[in-house]
Structure 1
């Protein structure tokens, strides 16, 4: 009797384990999933917000999950070590998983972001105001592939990338406005105005984030959904990727964001203009002074001539 009870218990544990293994988010390997009443429920790590695993997870929730994962590492950090953390931070998300317009860190430093969560202003203190979440309506992606022995045509590359973005990232083809190829450079335009975006459409910012992570070898999709970039059934290896964000309104950076080289160029140009204006003014004054001296000399000679003619 006890052996039968033990066997039944083992079977129950095996079934439970199998059910848990079948419960996962097919679009987010950072999600926390569990079976509840026969349903697989997934939440975002770091925020515990309920996820819709039939589509891409909003970028804001992904960044929170990545920060949570990084902080969970047990390796000690160097006392004075630092990283460029401007791209990845622990964001504030709203109830829909979208970025809040103002973001702050633990040092009470704040800044304004766009709908892609990218900083678009200089940093300030807790009194900083961000009146609206400016939408990123155009994402410009530039890549460079490794050296190849066999050439590729532009149409082959364009078709491969369009199919990849449509199928893997579920983006409607109307939002892929350009795919250009000039060996070894590849350029992709994703454009999506808020008026063109329907309820079921994934956001181009989320697509770009998933795509960039795939290229960098840090996929967000689960391991069984492996990333592969092929052109004519041949793998295409990307060695560089840059993502540019274009907002509905221009960014609000001051001179502080300019690099030292750009500032130096601006200073040189301004000095050249000032020097040019100064030289022009001095030259005109000198010419004017010469003309006045000539006129005075001529007037004196005319008067002498008039006095000589008087009987």
Structure 2
């Protein structure tokens, strides 16, 4: 009797373990998932404990927050590139809907304003900084550079392959993919999406760009079962460089007075070089002018001597 009870208990544990493994989030591996009493899989984003819909992409804000959450004593790796996002990954404040709050602050009480992609668009200030609105990023410019190869890919094949990936893997409507151009070894992708165009069911281009960046850098956000294969007609497209630029509906609010020391130093060197060049040119011209006058005088004296 005891042996039968043990077998039954073992089967129950195996069944429960199997059910737990099947309860995963296809579009976000940085989640904690459990089954409810009805057998539905409920997934919460790490770091924020907000419930996510695993049939669509998770918002970039929740993903960044999950990256900043400790995992086995270490943080998740930060992206190398990020109006190029030079601030990298930070621990963001997200609205209940998952989007970024317009104002972000760090632990030192330094604050700044961001766009819908979470990229800083103003100078940094203190807690008194006010951000009146979350300005929308309506154009994302992605530049890829693949490794050298014996011959270039065919441009239409590159465009078609990338378009299929963006549509099928990230579920972005094709109307938001406005351009994919290829000039060996560079690839340029334009994603454009105005606030008036985007409906509630549409994926945001900022989320698509972030997922794509992670895939290219071999740090995919998707569950491991959803492997990423970047290829053109079966040939691997080995990307060795990636830059993402963000264009907002309103211009960024950066000022010259907050230039970094490195930029100021470069400008000072350039200005000093120009001034030095002008001074040298003036001195050279003056010396040349005096020499010509003396030469003319000597020629005149020589002629008078001949006449005598």
Output the TM-score relative to the length of structure 2.
0.81
What is aligned with 1:35? 35
Which stretch has the larger CA shift, 255-264 or 46-55?
A: 255-264
What is aligned with 2:73? 74
| Residues 109 and 126, structure 1, Cα contact 8 Å, conserved in 2 | yes
Task: Show the 5 A alignment for 1:5-20.
Answer: 5-20=5-20
What is aligned with 1:299? none
Instruction: Tell me the secondary structure at the aligned position of residue 212 of structure 1.
Output: helix
RMSD: 2.3
Q: Does 1:268 align with 2:274?
A: no
Task: Show the 5 A alignment for 1:271-310.
Answer: none
Once the two structures are superposed, residues 38-66 of structure 1 have per-residue CA deviations (whole angstroms, 9 ceiling, x without a partner) of 11000110001011111000000000001
Q: Report the Cα distance in structure 2 between the residues aligned to 1:109 and 1:17, rounded to whole angstroms.
A: 46
- Give the Å deviation of 1:85: 8.3
What is aligned with 2:206? 205
Q: Report the Cα distance in structure 1 between the residues aligned to 2:242 and 2:120, rounded to whole angstroms.
A: 19
**Structure-2 change in CA distance of 1:20 and 1:108 (3 Å):** same
Instruction: Tell me the secondary structure at the aligned position of residue 178 of structure 1.
Output: strand
What is aligned with 1:297? none
Task: Show the 5 A alignment for 1:28-107.
Answer: 28-37=28-37, 38-68=39-69, 71-74=70-73, 86-107=87-108
Structure with larger Rg: 1
Q: Report the Cα distance in structure 1 between the residues aligned to 2:241 and 2:224, rounded to whole angstroms.
A: 23
| Residues 157 and 231, structure 1, Cα contact 8 Å, conserved in 2 | yes
Structure 1 runs (4+) deviating above 3 angstroms are: 257-267
Q: Report the Cα distance in structure 2 between the residues aligned to 1:155 and 1:33, rounded to whole angstroms.
A: 41
Once the two structures are superposed, residues 100-121 of structure 1 have per-residue CA deviations (whole angstroms, 9 ceiling, x without a partner) of 0000011111110000000111
What is aligned with 1:145? 146
| Residues 122 and 257, structure 1, Cα contact 8 Å, conserved in 2 | no
Instruction: Tell me the secondary structure at the aligned position of residue 177 of structure 1.
Output: strand
| Residues 159 and 180, structure 2, Cα contact 8 Å, conserved in 1 | yes
Q: Report the Cα distance in structure 2 between the residues aligned to 1:112 and 1:66, rounded to whole angstroms.
A: 21
Once the two structures are superposed, residues 272-305 of structure 1 have per-residue CA deviations (whole angstroms, 9 ceiling, x without a partner) of 7xx9xxx9xxxxxxxxxxxxxxxxxxxxxxxxxx
Q: Report the Cα distance in structure 2 between the residues aligned to 1:159 and 1:220, rounded to whole angstroms.
A: 23
| Residues 148 and 185, structure 2, Cα contact 8 Å, conserved in 1 | yes
Instruction: Tell me the secondary structure at the aligned position of residue 193 of structure 1.
Output: coil
- Give the Å deviation of 1:265: 3.9
What is aligned with 1:23? 23
Which stretch has the larger CA shift, 184-193 or 246-255?
A: 246-255
| Residues 102 and 113, structure 1, Cα contact 8 Å, conserved in 2 | yes
**Structure-2 change in CA distance of 1:198 and 1:40 (3 Å):** same
What is aligned with 1:183? 184
Q: Report the Cα distance in structure 2 between the residues aligned to 1:63 and 1:151, rounded to whole angstroms.
A: 36
5+ residue gaps, structure 1, are 77-83, 280-311
Once the two structures are superposed, residues 196-246 of structure 1 have per-residue CA deviations (whole angstroms, 9 ceiling, x without a partner) of 111111000000000000111100001110111110111110000000000
What is aligned with 1:241? 242
Q: Report the Cα distance in structure 1 between the residues aligned to 2:261 and 2:205, rounded to whole angstroms.
A: 29
**Structure-2 change in CA distance of 1:176 and 1:257 (3 Å):** farther
5+ residue gaps, structure 2, are 76-84, 283-308
Q: Does 1:124 align with 2:125?
A: yes
Number of residue pairs matched?
Answer: 265
What is aligned with 1:195? 196
| Residues 152 and 185, structure 2, Cα contact 8 Å, conserved in 1 | no
Instruction: Tell me the secondary structure at the aligned position of residue 68 of structure 2.
Output: helix
